[in-house]
């Protein structure tokens, strides 16, 4: 099985600052169904997490420098969470990911670099 990271990209702070309790609960229910659908279709979730809001971030600019609070100023979207998934069927994984995209965030799926990739 190949391993992929599913990145949930958007306004991560929206969940906590603009959504009602009912909207958040409905959103989390979709994530629960997503988890169930992955398992049902034979995908294996090996890790993942929801990330705290961007105001909790610490950053260091490329090349070094001081540690600063918060995300990079020019970044409009933030990674709000991720799943690490093993699968033999990327197309089906992408189909499952549509469930999350329908909540209003962008979804990016990237393969994990393996030892074989490093050797080539």
Which of 12, 5, 6 has the alpha carbon at shortest distance from 80? 12
Q: Ramachandran region of residue 4, left (φ > 0), alpha (ψ -120 to 50) or beta?
A: beta
Which of 33, 54, 26 has the alpha carbon at shortest distance from 96? 33
CATH architecture for segment(s) 2-119: 2-Layer Sandwich (3.30)
pLDDT band at 57 (very low <50, low <70, confident <90, very high): confident
15 pLDDT higher than 70: no
pTM (2 decimals)? 0.87
34 pLDDT higher than 90: yes
User: pLDDT digit string (tens) for 87-115?
Assistant: 999 999 999 999 999 988 899 999 999 88
Distance CA 107, CA 48 (A): 14
Q: How far is CA 85 from CA 27, 52, 82, 109, in A?
A: 20, 21, 10, 10
For the chain, the domains span: 2-119
């Amino acid at each position: 099985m190949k391993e992929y990271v599913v990145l949930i990209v958007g306004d991560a702070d929206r969940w906590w600052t603009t959504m009602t309790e009912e909207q958040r609960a409905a959103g989390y229910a979709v994530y629960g169904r997503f988890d169930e659908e992955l398992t049902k279709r034979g995908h294996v979730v090996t890790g993942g997490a929801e990330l705290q809001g961007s105001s909790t971030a610490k950053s260091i600019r490329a090349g070094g420098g001081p540690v600063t609070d918060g995300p990079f100023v020019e970044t409009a979207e933030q990674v709000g969470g991720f799943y690490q998934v093993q699968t033999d069927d990327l197309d089906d994984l992408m189909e499952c990911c549509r469930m999350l995209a329908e909540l209003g965030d962008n979804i990016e799926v990237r393969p994990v670099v393996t030892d074989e990739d490093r050797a080539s």
